[in-house]
């Protein structure tokens, strides 16, 4: 299930809610702190947990034969879990994800179905495609951000384009991850660093427009340090060990990126809450695989 990664998916959805203005009392038509409804928050967070878990479990199902050669310690090739049981397990989580979103509103359910389809397409067809694979994986995260924004369905049409940012970011991480086993290319690592800079610039631009540049910087600075420090080490020596660390840091750093989004939209308490998820994800990352 990659529990550490699941936590980052919850952070995506919370950031989307902040972007939608769900937590802003002064926003027209928003819920406000005084009478904030927690059920929609719970349902959409449960939805992303189901969708991400289902996608990552079936990723191992589709990769069972390859993992038997390259990563025999994985649950399926090691014999800890049967391929059939894992398939059922992943399907149950997909059902939870789609059903939970549907309990809230149709827009959220449509997005949940789209996320599931993108996960399956990536796992089955595009994982090893150098161009469409990273784009498809990024699309899963972009749709996940929109899943959070769908807490106020009308806000999707206002902020849909922000989904491009996680698409670029996760696309970069996916490109990097291709070198985890046999080593990577410095050219790809440099390109990933360029994409990281685009992501940071985009968030800061939005924060500046919204008048919340300084609060956003509180989270952007550690975010940049967390993603660039291991990446620069991997660029100097692009072997599997260092590339794996760069990928792991990049995935967990999503929490800081999402906190920056919340701060950029003036919801500092939610940004702080999202950051609290960081040590949880790091601890889970030490106990369970991240990549």
CATH code assigned at 279: 1.10.357.140
For the segment 82-102, the average pLDDT, to the nearest whole number, is: 97
Higher pLDDT, 239 or 203: 203
Give the pair of three-digit tokens for residue 79: 């014999």
pLDDT at 181 over 70: no
pLDDT at 291 over 80: no
pLDDT at 285 over 90: no
Quote the pLDDT of residue 25: 52
Query: pTM, whole model, 2 decimals?
Result: 0.91
The pLDDT-based confidence of 184 (bands split at 50, 70, 90) is confident
Average pLDDT in the chain? 92
Q: What is the DSSP string of the chain?
A: --HHHHHHHHHHHHHHHHHHTTT-TTSTT---STT--HHHHHHHHHHHHHHHHHHHHHHHHHTHHHHHHH-TTSTTTTTSS-HHHHHHHHHHHHHHHHHHHHHH-HHHHHHHHHHHHHHHHIIIIITT-TTHHHHHHHHHHHHHHHHHHTTSGGGHHHHGGGGHHHHHHHHHHHHHHTTTTT---HHHHHHHHHHHHHHHHHHHHHHHHHT-HHHHHHHHHHHHHHHHHHHHHHHHS--HHHHHHHHHHHHHTHHHHHHHHHHHTT-HHHHHHHHHHHHHHHHHHHHS---
Instruction: Quote the CA–CA distance of 56 and 54 in Å, as a whole number.
Output: 6
Instruction: Quote the CA–CA distance of 137 and 55 in Å, as a whole number.
Output: 11
pLDDT at 33 over 90: no
Quote the pLDDT of residue 254: 95
For the segment 167-171, the average pLDDT, to the nearest whole number, is: 95
Quote the pLDDT of residue 280: 93
**Of 219, 5, 45, 251, whose CA–CA distance to 148 is shortest?**
45
* Residues in contact with 206: Cβ distance below 8 Å, sequence separation at least 6, in sequence order: 162, 264
pLDDT at 124 over 60: yes
For the segment 61-78, the average pLDDT, to the nearest whole number, is: 90
pLDDT tens readout for residues 253-269: 999 999 999 999 999 99
- Structural domains counted in the chain: 1
The pLDDT-based confidence of 180 (bands split at 50, 70, 90) is low
Q: Are 135 and 172 in contact (CB under 8 A)?
A: no
Q: How far is CA 258 from the centre of its chain?
A: 9
Straight-line distance from the first to the last Cα atom of the chain, in angstroms, rounded to the nearest whole number: 11
The pLDDT-based confidence of 31 (bands split at 50, 70, 90) is very low
For the segment 267-290, the average pLDDT, to the nearest whole number, is: 91
Instruction: Quote the CA–CA distance of 146 and 51 in Å, as a whole number.
Output: 14
For the segment 120-127, the average pLDDT, to the nearest whole number, is: 92
Higher pLDDT, 184 or 286: 286
Quote the pLDDT of residue 98: 98
Quote the pLDDT of residue 36: 60
Which residues form the domain of 277? 3-287
Quote the pLDDT of residue 28: 46
The pLDDT-based confidence of 182 (bands split at 50, 70, 90) is low
Quote the pLDDT of residue 240: 85
For the segment 205-234, the average pLDDT, to the nearest whole number, is: 97
Q: Is 83 exposed, middle or buried (0-12, 13-18, 19+ CB in 10 A)?
A: middle
Instruction: Quote the CA–CA distance of 8 and 29 in Å, as a whole number.
Output: 28
pLDDT at 239 over 60: yes
Instruction: Quote the CA–CA distance of 80 and 172 in Å, as a whole number.
Output: 32
Give the pair of three-digit tokens for residue 1: 């299930």
């Amino acid at each position: 299930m990659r529990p550490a990664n699941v936590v980052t998916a919850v952070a995506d959805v919370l950031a989307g809610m902040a972007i939608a203005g769900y937590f802003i009392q002064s926003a027209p038509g928003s819920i406000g702190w005084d009478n904030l409804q927690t059920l929609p928050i719970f349902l959409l967070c449960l939805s992303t947990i189901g969708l991400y878990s289902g996608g990552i479990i079936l990723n191992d199902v589709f990769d069972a034969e390859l993992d038997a050669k390259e990563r025999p310690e994985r649950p399926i090739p090691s014999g800890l879990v049967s391929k059939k049981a894992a398939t059922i397990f992943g399907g149950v989580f997909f059902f939870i994800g789609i059903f939970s979103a549907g309990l809230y509103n149709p827009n959220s359910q449509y997005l949940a179905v789209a996320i599931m389809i993108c996960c399956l397409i990536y796992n089955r067809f595009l994982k090893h495609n150098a161009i469409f694979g990273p784009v498809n994986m990024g699309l899963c995260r972009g749709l996940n951000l929109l899943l959070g924004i769908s807490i106020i369905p009308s806000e999707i049409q206002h902020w849909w384009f922000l989904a491009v940012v996680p698409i670029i970011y996760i696309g970069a991480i996916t490109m990097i991850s291709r070198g985890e086993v046999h080593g990577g290319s410095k050219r790809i690592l440099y390109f990933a660093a360029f994409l990281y800079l685009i992501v940071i610039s985009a968030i800061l631009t939005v924060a500046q427009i919204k008048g919340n540049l300084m609060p956003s910087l509180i989270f952007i600075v550690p975010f940049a340090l967390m993603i660039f420090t291991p990446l620069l080490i991997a660029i100097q020596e692009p072997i599997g060990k260092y590339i794996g660390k760069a990928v792991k840091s990049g995935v967990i750093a999503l929490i800081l990126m999402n906190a920056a989004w919340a701060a950029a939209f003036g919801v500092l308490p939610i940004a702080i809450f999202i950051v609290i998820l960081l040590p949880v994800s790091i601890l889970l990352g030490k106990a369970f695989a991240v990549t």
